[in-house]
Structure 1
Amino acid sequence: MPEVAVATLGALLAEARAALAAAGVADAAREAAWLWAESPAEDAGAWLLRPEVVPDAARAARFRARVARRVGGEPLAYVSGWTAFRRVVVRCDRRALIPRPETEGLVELALGLARTGRVADIGTGTGCLALALADEGAFDAVLAVDRSADALALAAENARAARAAVALVRGDLTAPLAAASLDLLVANPPYLTEAEYAALDPSVRAWEPRLALPSGADGLDATRRLLDDGRRVLRRSGWLVLEVDARRAGETAALAAALGWTGVAISEDLFGRDRFVRARRGDAP
């Protein structure tokens, strides 16, 4: 975008809206306002009521730089550095997958099954699920597990920022967890096939970590492992709650039942898609 010696906030936002719209951003006005805010605590709406204000040159330059990144295809959450997830603010960068609105339903479902005891979030990424469970539940312990050291470092930053009592564990899925140590397991594991991953929109594939997206030829490698080993780490009558690809929800539920899980059920996300599978460990060891 061309440099402007002196520009009002209104002019800067108009410039940003035009650039974002030209780049194909669907809600250019909302994103321009979002990018103006330099922290989650800043009220962008209050600024919008003062379009005549002339921001200082340094802030205008930072804003233009953020807009340029977004115009270049970088996801909004990475450009701004944060997103909201239920009642918590989550820092975001390329170390972890961006939390999606539909994943908030996983928290709702999990809390409907258990609000106390010990819970682990497998493949925590930003830590959004663990943070939300710690915030809204009354658990004795909340564990956040990830095999990526980078993702776990980001989750640690988010836990500190939220002052959340979350224990961080590095490891692959449930492998680092002790037997019969949990009342609830939640996971949003990788669940795309390799073909689906290859066909993803570049706004996802080019920016978000591959480690969090595909899971083998049929998309179920991580899910199978969670179903196989989940019964080991859960106490009797403990629950496993998974986010799944809507195209494979039925297959996942059938696999859970075949492996001896009880109470298997599929739930929809906020868009009406089959998105979550819950299953309970029965009395059998």
Structure 2
Amino acid sequence: MTEAGASVDALVRAATRQLAAAGVPDPSREAWRLWADLQGELPGASLLTRDRAASTGEAERFQRAVARRVAGEPLAYVTGIAGFRRLTLKCDRRALIPRPETEGLVELVLQRQPGGVVVDVGTGSGCIALALADEGRYGAVVAVDRSPAALGLARENRDATGARVHLVLGDLCGGLAPASVHAVVSNPPYLTEAELAALEPGVRDHEPALALASGPDGLAATRRLVQEAGRVLRPGGWLALEVDMLRAPAVAALAGTAGLMDVTVHEDLFGRARYVLARRSEAE
């Protein structure tokens, strides 16, 4: 325990030592980020007030959060927030933590289909749908998830951001009318159970398995989604998927087999094959 009246700097330095002992990368940066997020401010602002005495409540709350992080819980779940593009979203174990790679998927959708009706399948926290709606370009944004818990989190984020997103409890595109949407976008589960078991504990033990693994080859959900997307897309409409880099060729092949055209694989910021785009023919 830290003695009463300890400064913010002393608390963060103690946390840095704990995080370092637990093997957390860049422990000083993480400790300051943890403190700042709990305070609802940027790390730079916290550094400016590092010499002030922390209140007993602040110290206790911070120490509880540090203990959770030391135990391996992801930072975003400990603080309860995650940044995604311009948005700050509520984040907890009901859905995957939004990641920078998924921001790249949003960019590709904005480039290929900047208007019309867009559907985010497997919305989770709602990050994709909310980021698209935040652009103000679309006539309608629909977010679908089969998990009531995940959809509840998406609803909380929608209400907090004020974004115009229609939430639907459903399985993939099953509830959508034929030829009704201009784009289907998704970050579907794409791991096998064995790959899920081999993930780092921070992901494996905390993030929802339903959103991570899908069938013996990891492509069960994607295989169905590609087929269903071909049905619900309007002529010329786009399918945009985030995929595992090792499965990108297989997903591209699935899109071609489903009759979609202009199938392309795109890299993320780290140079890894991460996104598959395909389009329904204009002639259909």
TM-score bracket for this pair, using the shorter chain length: over 0.9
Residues 111, 137 of structure 1: 8 Å contact kept: no
CA distance in 1, matches of 2:39, 2:247: 36
Cα deviation, residue 6, structure 1: 2.5
Aligned to 2:52: 53
Structure 1 position 283, deviation (Å): 4.2
- Any residues of structure 2 matched to 1:61-100 within 5 Å, and which? 61-100=60-99
Asked if 1:212 is matched to 2:211, the reply is yes
Instruction: Map Cα deviations across residues 26-63 of structure 1 (whole Å, 9 max, x no partner).
Output: 02112111211255842332221222200111111101
* Aligned partner letter, 1:34: R
Is the 2:2–2:11 Cα contact (8 Å) retained in structure 1? Answer: no
Runs of 4+ in 1 over 3 A off after TM superposition: 38-41
Q: Is the 8 A contact 1:117 1:182 kept in 2?
A: yes
Count of aligned pairs between the two proteins: 284
| SS of equivalent residue, structure 1 residue 108 | helix
1:121 aligns with 2:120: yes
What amino acid maps onto 1:245 in structure 2? D
Please list, as runs of the form range in 1=range in 2, the aligned pairs for 1:99-178 lying within 5 A after superposition: 99-178=98-177
After TM superposition, list the pairs within 5 Å mapping 1:192-203 onto structure 2. Answer: 192-203=191-202
Q: Which amino acid aligns with 2:167?
A: L
* Distance in 1 between residues matched to 2:252 and 2:39, nearest whole Å: 38
Corresponding residue for residue 224 of structure 2:
225
Mapped to 2, the partners of 1:270 and 1:41 lie a distance apart of 28
* Contact 1:82–1:89 under 8 Å retained in 2: yes
Deviations 1:182-214 (A, max 9, x none): 001100000001221121111111000010001
Hey, what's the Cα distance between the residues in 2 that align with 1:165 and 1:137? Answer: 9
C-alpha deviation, 1:69, in angstroms: 0.6
Task: Provide TM-score, normalisation by structure 2.
Answer: 0.97
Aligned identity (percent) is 58
Structure 2, unaligned runs of 5 or more: none
* Pairs within 5 Å for 1:15-54: 15-38=14-37, 41-54=40-53
Q: List alignment gaps of at least 5 residues for structure 1.
A: none
Q: Contact 2:95–2:150 (CA<8 Å) still a contact in 1?
A: yes
- State the alpha-carbon separation in 2 of the partners of residues 275 and 137 from structure 1: 26
Match of 2:276 in 1: 277
The alignment partner of 2:129 has SS state of helix
Task: State the one-letter code of the partner of 2:242.
Answer: E
The answer as to whether partners of 1:40 and 1:82 remain within 8 angstroms in 2 is no
Cα separation, 1, equivalents of 2:47 and 2:133: 34
Instruction: Give the conservation status (yes or no) of the 8 Å contact 1:197–1:214.
Output: yes
Aligned counterparts of 1:55 and 1:256: Cα–Cα separation in 2: 56
Secondary structure of 1:37's counterpart equals helix
**Cross-structure match for 2:186:** 187
User: What SS does the aligned partner of 2:202 have?
Assistant: helix
What is the CA–CA distance in structure 2 between the aligned matches of 1:64 and 1:40, rounded to whole Å?
Answer: 13
CA shift digits 1:119-173 (9 cap, x unpaired): 0000000000001101125000000100000000000000111100000000011
**Alpha-carbon distance in structure 2 between the residues aligned to 1:159 and 1:32:** 29
Equivalent residue of 1:278, what SS?
A: strand
Residue 261 of structure 2 corresponds to residue 262 of structure 1: yes
Separation (CA, whole Å) in 1 of partners of 2:172 and 2:98: 18
User: TM-score, structure 1 length as denominator?
Assistant: 0.97
- Equivalent residue letter for 2:189: P
TM-align CA RMSD: 1.3
